[in-house]
Each structure stands twice: as structure tokens, then as C-alpha cells.
Amino acid sequence: MSIDPTRYAELFRTESREQLIVINRALLALEQGGDAAEPLSIIFRAMHTVKGMSASMGYNALAEFAHEVESALDRVRRGDQQPGPDMMDALFASADALEAGLEAATEGARQSPAMAAALERLLAVAGERAPGGPSGGELPAAGYSEAAAVVQLPAADPLGGPGVIVRVRQSAGTLLPGVRAFLAVEKVRTLGEVGAVWPPIEVLQTSESPQSFAIRVSTLASAREIEAAVRSAGDVEHVEVDMAARTRRERPIALDAAAERAEPAPVGGKVTRHVRMDLARLDTLMNLVGELVITRGRLLQLTADHGKGPLDDAMQQAARLIGDLQSEIMTSRMVPVWQVFDRFPRLVRDASRQLGKDVVFVVEGKDIELDRSLLDEVGEPVVHLLRNAVDHGIEAPAERTAAGKPRAGRLVLSAARDRAAILIRVSDDGRGIDRARVLERAKASGLVDGSAMELDDEDLLRCIAQPGFSTAHAVSDLSGRGVGLDAVQAKARMLGGSVTLKSVEGEGTAFTMRVPATLAIVRALLARSGHERYALPLTHVRETIEFGEHTVQRVRGREVLVLRDEVLPLLYLRDVVRQGGAADAQREIVVIERGEKRSGLVVDELIGQLDVVVKPFDAAREGLALFSGATILADGAPALIMDLGSLFGGV
């Protein structure tokens, strides 16, 4: 029976993508100088892992390619080759070719032209002869092995020698057990020197059913750390760490001794288990819990008139349980932003080299969490912002030196939490935006009045975010602040967020994208205007105050809100939604904000706060672009969710 690689292709690619992230991160660290030993070891181990998994899947061309890159890395590790610019470019090109090869890998496929070219370049830099033909060599069908005969251990004691003995039993139904076993050994290898594996690793790699195996490793790690490393490989049913074997060799090794115990106890205390889950299933769970939240509100309203009693008690308990379920599912969808941020250092490195600039790239707030579906969406606008910063923001080294700045520009990508929102900021210490040039171009394009003398940050962003707007003298793949900024703003609006800009000529520019932490269920204020109710997301709500003579005044014929010595423009929800009729005598004001800009929104009544389940909303053609979605209220009636950020365009 042969293994069907198509069943496990996505699992293979997921594991390999994680290794490529590690490789790119370590390559950047290696290029920046300092102690090369650690990043080289990291790259070597990750490449070795990709090689082993590729061989287990039957992707021999990939395994051969990874082996050649591994050999070049070994030359650098031994000191025979220096990691100079040419070698680093060749290694980065090899990582790119490997990534493309992973996505297109099939059993029996030959090396792609990109892989062959990258390999030829790498071997040329290393002073070695390139392999004959673009396909490279062929690997044994059983899986790649550098030296299958190296592990010739005595049958009586295959793991004889000093060290810690780690016995592993894989779970029943393990997907791709050979790859999982290989990963487990590689995880242990990160903790110390692996002296032996039994059965040998090349045998484990070809297995088609769950295995029991043992590893001897020389390490100072604790039993808890060793077990956690093994379990992180996935699909591990039982781990036994024999610390006493560090100093003794006489006891025979029973690979499945743990199976003979009635109640096997995990070593090292509580172990966290992880399960891979398709995002589509989480989306389905989120939709279902959203419907439960709507039903909860309806049931609470229906039982409110029955007074206290068993029915009310049961309903209150059900409401709490639904709330807990909602919280748990939303939490399970939250992931740290580093999962998308980790690919940007490579992007900045490539862009800066292309433009001949020196850039120090800093990432802050990598542990801030976002909803998984939203994280996928913010990647593209961040790419646009970073490219614009490198190209149009940060000056060339000579220009910076002449201006008294450090030769290398500083580019910062940061994430921070602000109440119910996440702030993603891209800032540079470059030349800033030439307001005079933007104003000139904006006048010529009719974007601002011909009599305008200057542009504030709000007007500046509105101009440069127009599709096709650019002040660049020459067009390139990266050139111009307008390139992509319209897409950035459109994406932020689609996510129920906003974009703000701060720029000081000669000092730098900062773009801040404000987005909700999750898109599925948001906290909102329910406001009434006439007979209609609208949901106002708390992402843009600062506070609420009563409408009164002491708070509302007229300045130059226009009503404004005076709030703690600050004068804010005033909007009426009735006017915004073009709703006729007279306003209620008792009105309230919602202070809304976008960045540092604030205004007051007058509503007829504030009904209260609630969790609203966001439903897709297809606006009528030529209708108002004021709404980001719709929701169903507790009484079963629909309500539109306001895009409060869009209101500032007319303030």
C-alpha cells in the first residue's frame, strides 16, 4: 500500500510555509551581521525539515533542491564561505524559489526553471559546479537519506549511550505519520544533540501507520520542555521522558513500555494540546453563535414580561451560557498579528535594495491579536504603506547625510489596541510629504478650491488617496504616495475602520489604520432617529452627552458642540440619513472620533448598548455610502450599522 500524497498536500504546505517564515527571518538576521552561528543553525534545521518532509511526500525535486541549499549553508557554517552580499542574495533567491516550488509541488514533478536558476546562482557563488540539467538528481522512492547506513545500532540496545531517552507513541489515525515522526525528532533536535533514533529516521519517514519510536538526546532541558517540543509536532498520543537515562546505559529500552501501564501519566504536568482546524469551520461556528445571540435577545425580550420565576431563571442562565460560548468562539478566532507581520521584513529588505536605500525596519506590538479573517484582510494595505514609505518617504543615503540625518532611514510597523479597535501604524523618518506640490497638483485636478493656500493632514490624505493621484516625477513599480493609498482607504472602510495621516516635512510621515478587533460581532450603541434605529459601532464612539443650551452654540451661523473648551462641529443624524420630520425635544449627542478629529452626532434617543451580529449589506445603487452592514435586533426588526468614519468627509 502506497501513501496518497494528495490527501496530505495542504498539511505539508502549511508545515513548510511555517519553516519558510523561520528561514526568511533567520536570513534577515544573518544579513544584518553579528553572531552568524545561531541564524545559520536555524536556517539549516528549517531547510533540513523541509527536505525531510518533501522526501516523505515523494516530492523528490524539492528534497533535492533543499539538500543542495543545505549543503551551501553547511559551507558557510564551516567557515569555507562568507555570507557576503552575493551569497545572501543567492540564499534569498533560493528561499523564494523553494516557496514557489512548495505551492506547485506534485509527486514526480521536476525542478522548476526558477529553482534551477536559483540553484545555479547559489552554486556559482559557492564556487561549485551546478547540477546537470534543471531537474537535478533523483531521490530513492522510499525518501531522501543522506546516508541510510550511518545508523547501525546494536540490536540489543539501539539507543545505548548517555543522554535522555524520549519514548513517543503517535495517535491513532495520525495524518502522514512519517512526516510527523520526522518533525518530532527535529523539534527535539532544537533542544540538544540527538544521538540516535530507533527505528532509524529514514525508516520512520516511510511509515504509513502510526508509530512508536524513541530518541536519545543530550540536553539540559527539563522533562516538561522536552515533552512540549515533541507534542508540538502534532498527533502525539503519549510521551515518556526518561531523565535517569542521562547517566545510565544498562537498562534495555522498551519502545512501547508506556502502553503496558494501566494509567499512563504525562510527565512534566499539564500539557496544552493543539488541533489544526479549517478556518471555514470557525466561520460556520461564528455564524451559528451569531444567530444564537440574535435569538438570545429575542427570548430575553419575550420572557421579560413574565416576571421572576423558573422560566426567567432558566432564560438568564441560557443567556449567560450563550455569552460564554460567544466569547470562547471569538477568542478562538483571535491570532497575533506577527503571523502576517513576519513576512514584511523581507518585503522591506527587497524594496530598499531595489531602490538603493538603507532602511532599519522595526516591528512593534507583534503579540496584539486580531480576528483571523480580519488579519488576512489587513496584509494588503500594509504592503502598500510599507512600499510607499520605502520609495517615497525615506530618502537616499546621500540625501539623508546631507540633511544631517542618519544614513539609514527608520521604518516602524506597529500594532496597538485602542479600546475595541486595533491601530496599525506605518511611520518613517523620511522627507515627509511635499504639501506645496500636492496642493499644486490637487488644484490642477480640481480636488481643492483654487483659492486654497494650504492643506491640513485630513485634506492631504483625501487628495493623495484619490485613485491615480501621484506627485512622482517618474512612474515605477513603487513610485508615488498615491500608488495604492486609494486601495488602503477602501479596504479600511470595508472593514469598518479608517485611515489617518500625519506628516511633517523633513521629519517623516505616519499612516494609521484603525480597524475593529473582530468583524463578526461588534459592540454598538443603538440610536433612534424618528422611527428608525441605527447601530453606532463603539470603535468610533468617544462619549455621549445630553443636548442642551450650554453645550450647543452657534459659530458663524453653524451649530457647534462646546465640550471642555473644545469646539466640535455638529451633525444631525436626521440630516445625515436624509430623514424628514421634526426632531424630538429631548435629544442626545454622541461624540464620534476618527484619529484626532472629533464631531458631535445628534440623535433623537439613545436606546442602549448591545452586541450586534454584522450581516452583509448591499446598498441600493446611488444610495448613501453611510453603512457598513446590517443587523437583526431583539424584536426581529432590522437595523443598519453606521460607518461613522465616513461622516468626517462632510465635517
155 falls within a domain: no
Cα separation values, 300 from 95, 210, 290, 631, 635, Å: 57, 50, 16, 17, 10
Across the chain, mean pLDDT equals 79
Non-local (6+) Cβ contacts of 137 within 8 A are: 64, 131
Pick from 119-128, 281-290, 503-512 the range whose average pLDDT is largest: 503-512
Summarised one tens digit per residue, pLDDT across range 449-499 is: 777 788 888 888 888 888 767 665 544 555 445 456 888 888 887 777 788
Taking residue 24's Cβ as centre, other Cβ atoms within 10 Å add up to 23
Specify the DSSP element, H or E, that contains 188.
Answer: helix 177-189
Give the lowest-confidence range in 136-140, 346-350, 484-488, 565-569: 136-140
267 falls within a domain: no
Phi (first) and psi of residue 598, to 5 degrees: -130, 155
pLDDT of amino acid 616: 66
Taking residue 396's Cβ as centre, other Cβ atoms within 10 Å add up to 14
Cell 544614513 belongs to residue: 407
Domain boundary residue, one of 67, 96, 125 = 125
- Looking at the fold, whether 504 and 396 belong to one and the same domain comes out as yes
Over residues 260-270, mean pLDDT = 39
- Looking at the fold, whether 305 and 391 belong to one and the same domain comes out as no
Q: Say how far apart CA 82 and CA 68 lie, in whole Å.
A: 17
Distance from chain centroid for Cα 133: 38
Cell 489596541 belongs to residue: 417
Distance from chain centroid for Cα 647: 30
649 CB-side CA count, 13 A = 14
- Looking at the fold, whether 436 and 485 belong to one and the same domain comes out as yes
135 falls within a domain: no
Q: What single-letter DSSP state applies at residue 256?
A: T
- Looking at the fold, whether 459 and 384 belong to one and the same domain comes out as yes
CATH number at residue 643: 2.40.50.180
- Looking at the fold, whether 206 and 290 belong to one and the same domain comes out as no
Over residues 256-283, mean pLDDT = 52
Helix-strand-coil split of the chain, %, nearest 5 = 40, 20, 35
Say if CB 640 and CB 535 are below 8 A apart.
yes
Say if CB 179 and CB 205 are below 8 A apart.
yes
512 falls within a domain: yes
Over residues 194-198, mean pLDDT = 86
Of 396, 301, 333, give the one whose Cα is nearest residue 634.
Answer: 301
Over residues 350-379, mean pLDDT = 88
The share of the chain scoring above pLDDT 70, in percent, equals 81
106 falls within a domain: yes
Of 225, 521, 549, 511, give the one whose Cα is nearest residue 393.
Answer: 511
Summarised one tens digit per residue, pLDDT across range 242-264 is: 886 554 443 443 444 333 334 33
Summarised one tens digit per residue, pLDDT across range 524-573 is: 899 998 888 999 988 788 888 888 767 788 887 788 888 887 888 888 88
Is residue 408 pLDDT above 90, yes or no? yes
Is residue 132 pLDDT above 50, yes or no? no
Cα separation values, 415 from 23, 29, 360, 595, Å: 24, 22, 18, 15
- Looking at the fold, whether 511 and 533 belong to one and the same domain comes out as no
- Looking at the fold, whether 203 and 298 belong to one and the same domain comes out as no
CATH number at residue 221: 3.30.70.1110
- Looking at the fold, whether 362 and 494 belong to one and the same domain comes out as yes
- Looking at the fold, whether 452 and 470 belong to one and the same domain comes out as yes
How many domains does one find in the chain? 5
Is residue 309 pLDDT above 60, yes or no? yes
Taking residue 215's Cβ as centre, other Cβ atoms within 10 Å add up to 26
- Looking at the fold, whether 390 and 486 belong to one and the same domain comes out as yes
Phi (first) and psi of residue 44, to 5 degrees: -60, -45
Cα separation values, 100 from 96, 138, 502, Å: 6, 20, 38
The residue type found at 175 is: L
CATH number at residue 505: 3.30.565.10
Domain boundary residue, one of 472, 489, 516 = 516
- Looking at the fold, whether 487 and 359 belong to one and the same domain comes out as yes
pLDDT of amino acid 275: 65
130 falls within a domain: no
CATH number at residue 88: 1.20.120.160
- Looking at the fold, whether 506 and 535 belong to one and the same domain comes out as no
Is residue 286 pLDDT above 60, yes or no? yes
Domain assignment of residue 288, given as a range: 280-332
Cell 505551492 belongs to residue: 103
Q: What is the pTM of this model?
A: 0.64
Q: Say how far apart CA 92 and CA 151 lie, in whole Å.
A: 33
Domain boundary residue, one of 468, 488, 516 = 516
157 falls within a domain: no
* Alpha-carbon dihedral 416, 417, 418, 419, rounded to 10 degrees: 180
Q: Is residue 398 very low, low, confident or very high in pLDDT (cuts 50, 70, 90)?
A: very high
The length of the chain in residues reads: 651
319 falls within a domain: yes
